[in-house]
Homo-oligomer: A and B are copies of this chain.
Amino acid sequence: MSVDTLQYLLGMAGTVAFAVTGVLAVTPRGIDFFGACVLGLITAIGGGTIRDLILGVPVFWAADLNYIWVALGASFVAFLTERLLTRREIHRTMLYLDALGVSMFAIQAAQKVMWLDFGMPIAPILLGVLTAIGGGLLRDVLAGQPTLLKRRELYAIPVTCGCILYVTLLTWFPAYAVLTGVVCSLLILCLRSSAIYWDLHVPLW
């Protein structure tokens, strides 16, 4: 299996995790089936869509509708099996899968922005973070919930650290693109998993 195939499959796993956590974040509050699927889909593809609009390139899902089908299917299943999924262990598993999705999407986005040579060196970091958290922000705004920016969860900061490291390393060692991407994805995954495991939050100043 090539690096590209693996990356694609991990991206799909991240899409599933985003859609499922999106549905789980809103279902207990009396949302209907249609709303759950829309919010699951928006969580999964919202961040990347805003990134592509800002970059001025065609939205990523126009060329590969699998993102849409997978997100809709995962939202559908998540809505139907919601009671099962909120069981503590399964919910935890989804959080870790969501962390995997975040780590993949952020680095992929930073990579895409660097390839386009768009607003170096700060734009790849900003748009990496935006891709990772944008879908969740949209979902929370549409569902009338406090957004991530108000929750002091240790979520965006690991992503930001990973993207900063990625851009720094790739500027210095452009020959090791794949290795750098893997290392920075793993860094985000580790930091975010630690935050989930020990229930870490950002301290108030």
* Partner-B contacts on A (CB < 8 A): 29-35, 38-39, 41, 49, 53-54, 56, 58-59, 61-62, 65, 68-69, 79, 118-119, 122-123, 126, 137, 141-144, 146-150, 152, 156-157, 160, 202-205
Partner of A149, one of B143, B148, B149: B143
Distance of A62 Cα from B127 Cα, bound (Å)? 12
Chain B residues with CB under 8 A of A149: 31, 34-35, 38-39, 142-143
Distance of A137 Cα from B142 Cα, bound (Å)? 7
**Contact present for A31 and B156 (CB under 8 Å):** no
> Quick one: copies of this chain in the complex?
3
Which B-chain residue is minimally distant from A41 (CB atoms)?
Answer: B126
Distance of A53 Cα from B157 Cα, bound (Å)? 27
Partner of A54, one of B49, B160, B203: B49
Q: Say whether, besides A141-B142, A144-B147, A32 and B152 are in contact (CB < 8 Å).
A: yes
The contact sample of 25 A-B pairs, CB cut-off 8 A, is: A29-B150, A30-B150, A30-B204, A31-B149, A31-B152, A32-B152, A32-B204, A32-B205, A34-B156, A35-B149, A35-B150, A38-B149, A38-B156, A41-B126, A54-B59, A56-B58, A62-B123, A65-B123, A68-B119, A68-B126, A69-B122, A79-B205, A137-B142, A142-B147, A144-B147
Partner of A34, one of B39, B123, B146, B160: B160
Chain B residues with CB under 8 A of A58: 56
Distance of A54 Cα from B29 Cα, bound (Å)? 30
Distance of A143 Cα from B145 Cα, bound (Å)? 10
Partner of A119, one of B56, B62, B137: B62
**Contact present for A122 and B35 (CB under 8 Å):** no
**Contact present for B65 and A152 (CB under 8 Å):** no
Q: Say whether, besides A149-B142, A156-B38, A202 and B59 are in contact (CB < 8 Å).
A: no
